[in-house]
Amino acid sequence: MLFQKKRLTTPQTQAAAKQRMLSPTSPFAIREAYNSIRAKLLFTGRGEKCPVFAVTSAMMHDGKTTNAVNLAISIASTTKKVLLIDGDMRKPTVHRYFGLENKNGLSEILAGLTNEVKIRKTDVENLHVLTSGQIPPNPAELFGSKQMDNLLAYVKDFFDYVLIDTPPVNLVTDAAILAEKITGYVFVVQSGKNHFYEISYALDTVQQMNGNVVGMILNDAAGKSGSHYGGYRNYSYNSRAYYRRGYGRGGYYSNYYSTYETKVEDEITRQQDAKDAARKQENAKKQESDK
Ligand SMILES: Nc1ncnc2c1ncn2[C@@H]1O[C@H](COP(=O)(O)OP(=O)(O)OP(=O)(O)O)[C@@H](O)[C@H]1O
Ligand SMILES: [Mg+2]
């Protein structure tokens, strides 16, 4: 149990983060997987000069940041100029992958604390990063602001692709608020961990905001090759018990996403209870008519 919990934490240091980064020496299968996602994205740009994709998922630790970083590296390797924005203003981690300072970033720009858009070069050719900046009290509001529109319009003049790492859809509204500002979402599902209800709830949320899901990544963190998650696939969850146990008020992640988690948990439980009741009723009717 301890072992698994440790494996679920987001990398705290650049060395830990770097291990997960795509490089020419990454296994062929991994490079190919990113190439194929990249190809899909390059064709779903809707003819825009600079498409903007947000990488998101239903819950925490699904692999959003890892995949946003690697997708950005993969696109940059095609000589396209890519900007990766750390849009997880609640739990910024992108700067750790590239060993960057997290000052004068997205939150400061959106809050009007600086006029300077400090886009940083990385060691990866063609890849630039806008870090998240200090943790603000109102990230969702900042995402919804006119400043966010202005920022995107501004960076589109300098880049071919913009990727935004975001927090989980089921826990906070930040990612969904971007729906009408971006080309689409790349939705990460973690194999063997995400429950169907979580995924369907997240997709519904995005669609209700008129968001466009342009691709899904099945993040096989429990995969057989190259994974440090050995055995994680066997650690199964089941729907309601999972929500109640994992994300209650005192939940493991409550420091970061406390405002919405209980609401979401209650809503999902309510929806599932309603579905269970309807199914029971239908079965009872069927049994009755079979008699
Ligand atoms: N495919 C994978 N194989 C091995 N480890 C992985 C994989 N995907 C993610 N991880 C690891 O799982 C942890 C969580 O990943 P990551 O930080 O990318 O998730 P996240 O969805 O961005 O999390 P958060 O919700 O906290 O922002 C990290 O330690 C990361 O290195
Ligand atoms: Mg993350």
Structure confidence at residue 4 as a pLDDT band (50, 70, 90) = very low
Which residues, in sequence order, are CB contacts of 21 under 8 Å at separation 6+? 69, 70, 73, 97
- Helix H, strand E, coil C: the string for 118-142 is CCEECCCCCEEEECCCCCCCCHHHH
User: What's 155's DSSP letter?
Assistant: H
Closest residue by CA, ligand 1 atom 28: 10
If you average pLDDT over residues 168-190, what whole number do you get?
95
Residues 265, 180, single domain; the answer is no
Closest residue by CA, ligand 1 atom 16: 63
Closest residue by CA, ligand 1 atom 29: 10
Read off the CATH number of the domain in which 153 is found: 3.40.50.300
Structure confidence at residue 291 as a pLDDT band (50, 70, 90) = confident
Ligand closest to CA 226: 1
Residues 248, 179, single domain; the answer is no
Q: What is the pLDDT of residues 235-258, one digit of tens each?
A: 222 233 333 333 333 233 333 444
What per-residue confidence (pLDDT) applies to 77? 95
- Domain containing 36 equals 2-237
Residues 89, 151, single domain; the answer is yes
Task: Give the end of a domain, one of 198, 218, 237.
Answer: 237
Q: Which two tokens stand for residue 55?
A: 């990488």
Domain count across the chain: 2
Residues 97, 146, single domain; the answer is yes
Among 15-19, 86-90, 214-218, 249-253, the range scoring the smallest mean pLDDT is 249-253
Residues 224, 259, single domain; the answer is no
Residues 269, 178, single domain; the answer is no
Lining ligand 1 with CB less than 6 A are 10-11, 20, 57, 60-66, 88, 91, 93, 168, 219-221, 227-229
What is the distance in A from the centroid of ligand 2 to the CA of 97? 11
Q: What is the pLDDT of residues 88-123, one digit of tens each?
A: 999 999 999 999 999 889 999 999 999 888 999 999
Ligand closest to CA 193: 1
Whether residue 262 is predicted with pLDDT greater than 70 in this model: the reply is no
Task: Give the end of a domain, one of 221, 237, 253.
Answer: 237
What is the distance in A from the centroid of ligand 2 to the CA of 80? 24
Whether residue 215 is predicted with pLDDT greater than 80 in this model: the reply is yes
Residues 157, 287, single domain; the answer is no
Which residues, in sequence order, are CB contacts of 216 under 8 Å at separation 6+? 186, 187, 188, 189
Task: Give the end of a domain, one of 194, 213, 237.
Answer: 237
Residues 54, 174, single domain; the answer is yes
Residues 205, 254, single domain; the answer is no
What per-residue confidence (pLDDT) applies to 115? 87
Structure confidence at residue 275 as a pLDDT band (50, 70, 90) = confident
Closest residue by CA, ligand 1 atom 6: 221
Residues 165, 181, single domain; the answer is yes
What are the Cα distances from residue 221, in Å, to 36, 187, 229? 18, 15, 6
Residues 172, 282, single domain; the answer is no
Q: Which residue has the higher pLDDT, 265 or 105?
A: 105
If you average pLDDT over residues 157-182, what whole number do you get?
96
What is the distance in A from the centroid of ligand 1 to the CA of 60? 9
**What atom in ligand 1 is closest to the CA of residue 256?**
26
Residues 95, 207, single domain; the answer is yes
